[in-house]
Amino acid sequence: MFADHVRIFVSAGAGGDGASSFRREAHVPRGGPDGGDGGRGGDVVLTADAGMTTLSDFLHRRHVRAKPGGSGAGRKATGRNGGAVTLPVPPGTVIRTADVEGVPGEWLGELITPGSRLVVARGGRGGRGNVHFATATNRAPTHAEKGDAGEERWLELELKLIADIGLVGAPNAGKSTLLAALTAATPRVGDYPFTTTEPNLGVIEFDDERRAVIADLPGLIEGASEGHGLGHAFLRHVERTRVLVGVVDGAAPDPVAAWQAVEVELREHDPALLDRPLTVIVTKQDLAAARQHWPQVRAALRAAGHQPLAVSAHDGAGIEELRHALADALAEADRRLAAAPAEPSMRVHRFDPLEEGWEVVAEGDALRVRGRRIETSAARTDFENDESRERFQRMLERLGIDAELRRQGAGAGTLVRIGKAELEWSEES
């Protein structure tokens, strides 16, 4: 089954907890703290694999989890790092976060070149052991940090096949037969519409050094850009092609009208598609009806600005001329690419006012403190440890959060949420 759009859940490993430990050798009086740090959680990484052409591997693997980091130990021993999970995907895969409650997902990146990698979920940082918290006034700290949670998110993976040449046309126009004549591919061929239900790829050889990948896409019917027929699901693959070949059924009742309908659907999907080098060919010239229509079809297509070629994939007529035309079209595409201005590589980072700051908002019968820094500190705090809890309270006071909570009515028994932590306010706070 050809799969070009999947939704998966990725979860990076959590960082290991730091250790609270002390040296206890008989010959080392007042040995002090020696708790080591937790290991880092494993990442989830996507990598482009040239041997893959679909996303079908993810149809039965919707949840991917990396391993957590190990906890620290005494003698300043650091916990092991969690193993990363590397997922191969086809070149041409676009990665976005999934839509959430109608809010569009965020574009994360795309993998074009085989071997390129993208970290889609980062493992959590390991917590620091108590050895880091010794001071001149507190030589025996029991406080150690908990590890950070790993990132987790739903992702949308969308494959846009990378091909040099795309064959587009109405159903049963002869695209698959043409692909078989130009390459060593063996697509399914039949004398009925929608024989091609998924893209087929082949490699055309121009000479010993030049070759190109051709994609045969399912036929387009009127309304394809709005979801009609089979071809609408594969219009995204046309976006990756450098050259288009318009395949017109020369034996159709009205070949020109059939091609004009295809042009409309391409324009509706993306107007820029028709600005690419386009070679229009009229197929099935081995049939008497196609040969009879050819003079009128050629004149009409020339009037529309095309220079059509007549070909027959069955007897080879016009195939060699088509090869030369495709080589010229690819050279023209290369010239346009070289002349085009380079796209800026800089990505704009939108400033988040809560990146370093904080705010307190009402949440039902509770109060919620929001802000990256304070939420991270809460996640790293072991609230079962008196020293850790007191340390966190001092941070609330230092940042002014304590005063703001009191101003908004926090009293004995008030529930305060910070990240995933739920704390009950007391008058001693």
DSSP state of 313: T
**What angle, rounded to 10 degrees, do the helices at 372-380 and 386-399 form?**
170
CATH number given to 359-424? 3.30.300.350
pLDDT tens-place string over residues 140-187: 999 999 999 999 999 999 988 778 898 988 888 888 888 888 887 665
* Superfamily of domain 1-159 in the CATH hierarchy: GTP1/OBG domain (2.70.210.12)
Q: Would you state the pLDDT for residue 356? A: 67
Instruction: Of 1-10, 121-130, 225-234, give the lowest mean pLDDT range.
Output: 225-234
- The segment(s) of the chain belonging to CATH 3.40.50.300 are 165-339
Asked if the 165-339 domain carries CATH number 3.40.50.300, the reply is yes
- The segment(s) of the chain belonging to CATH 3.30.300.350 are 359-424
As a whole number, mean pLDDT of residues 42-56 equals: 90
For residue 364, pLDDT over 70 is answered with yes
Rounded distance, CA 45 to CA 207, Å? 38
As a whole number, mean pLDDT of residues 106-119 equals: 91
Q: Would you state the pLDDT for residue 349? A: 42
- Across the chain, what does the average pLDDT equal? 85
For residue 313, pLDDT over 50 is answered with yes
At a CB cut-off of 8 Å and minimum separation 6, what does 209 contact? none
DSSP state of 277: -
pLDDT tens-place string over residues 183-203: 876 655 444 344 444 577 788
219 pLDDT tier (thresholds 50, 70, 90): low
Q: Would you state the pLDDT for residue 198? A: 59
295 pLDDT tier (thresholds 50, 70, 90): very high
Rank 82-86, 204-208, 221-225 by mean pLDDT and report only the highest.
Answer: 82-86
DSSP state of 167: E
pLDDT tens-place string over residues 264-276: 888 888 888 889 9
Kindly report the pTM of this predicted structure: 0.71
- The segment(s) of the chain belonging to CATH 2.70.210.12 are 1-159
Asked if residue 270 lies in contact with residue 191, where contact means CB atoms within 8 angstroms, the answer is no
* Three-state DSSP state, 303: helix
